[in-house]
């Protein structure tokens, strides 16, 4: 079935439905994003960071990398030309150069990069949007930045009970190399310490590329 689009353009019903779906895009986290990130952090975790911690991280971009994931809602899409569509429904990692502050932040992630080591500090996705591959997009974006900055390894801590996150990290070649006892202050849960294979290893990079 075809329906009349804007002007004289004909579009299928499925094409119009596609244009009405929300899509997602990534941006560098800015200081003005911190209050909204903090609100989401409180929804994602029982031991959220204080806003001051995010602000401290953002003033040293040479040693840190923090990003936000924004959701473009259908009402905003309809204000754009119908011919301009994003493909992040298919997990595109497009970064926008200009912030579109009307679009809510639905995810965030960050890491330290020091002395050849990329250390993931946080990854969060709005609870109602989990299971859509958005956490994977954020993690892969961190990994890509670590490679671009010539880090040799990537490491992180993960709750021993968080099997879903562990499976994601294992998918990208991370393995367990220790445990931090009572690492999480909210309930005293232990954390598994996971490390990637060498990020400068050609074969490992090829495997990562095939997974993206």
Give CA–CA dist 108/134, Å, rounded.
10
Q: What is the mean pLDDT of the chain?
A: 85
Of 169, 183, 189, 197, the catalytic one is 169
* Predicted local distance difference test score (pLDDT) of residue 23: 87
Q: Provide the whole-model pTM.
A: 0.80
Tokens in use for 202? 């050609």
**Percentage of the residues of the chain whose pLDDT score is greater than 70:** 78
Q: Stretch 109-134: mean pLDDT, rounded?
A: 96
* Predicted local distance difference test score (pLDDT) of residue 5: 40
User: pLDDT digits over 147-201, tens only?
Assistant: 999 999 999 999 999 999 999 999 999 999 999 999 998 899 999 999 999 999 9
Cα–Cα nearest to 143, from 83, 207, 88, 60:
207
β-sheet bridge partners, residue 117:
114, 153
Cα–Cα nearest to 89, from 28, 14, 36, 20:
20
Known catalytic membership, residue 169:
yes
Known catalytic membership, residue 98:
no
Give CA–CA dist 117/96, Å, rounded.
27
Residue 21 — pLDDT band, cuts 50, 70, 90? confident
Of 27, 66, 157, 172, the catalytic one is 157
């Amino acid at each position: 079935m075809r329906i009349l689009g804007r002007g004289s353009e004909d579009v299928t019903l499925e094409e119009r439905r596609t244009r009405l779906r929300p899509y997602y895009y990534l941006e560098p986290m800015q200081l003005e994003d911190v209050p909204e990130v903090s609100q989401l952090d409180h929804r994602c975790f029982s031991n959220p960071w204080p806003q001051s911690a995010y602000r401290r991280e953002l003033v040293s971009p040479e040693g840190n990398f923090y990003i936000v994931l924004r959701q473009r809602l259908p009402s905003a899409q309809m204000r754009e030309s119908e011919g301009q569509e994003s493909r992040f429904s298919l997990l595109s990692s497009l970064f926008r150069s200009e912030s579109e502050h009307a679009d809510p932040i639905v995810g965030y992630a960050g890491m330290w990069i020091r002395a050849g080591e990329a250390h993931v500090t946080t990854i969060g996705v709005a609870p109602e949007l989990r299971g859509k591959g958005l956490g994977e997009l954020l993690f892969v974006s961190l990994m890509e930045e670590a490679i671009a900055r010539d880090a040799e390894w990537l490491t992180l801590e993960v709750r021993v009970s968080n099997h879903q996150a562990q499976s994601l990290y294992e998918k990208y070649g991370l393995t367990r190399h220790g445990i931090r006892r009572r690492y999480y202050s909210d309930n005293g849960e232990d954390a598994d310490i996971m490390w990637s294979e060498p990020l400068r290893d050609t074969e490992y990079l090829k495997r990562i590329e095939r997974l993206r």
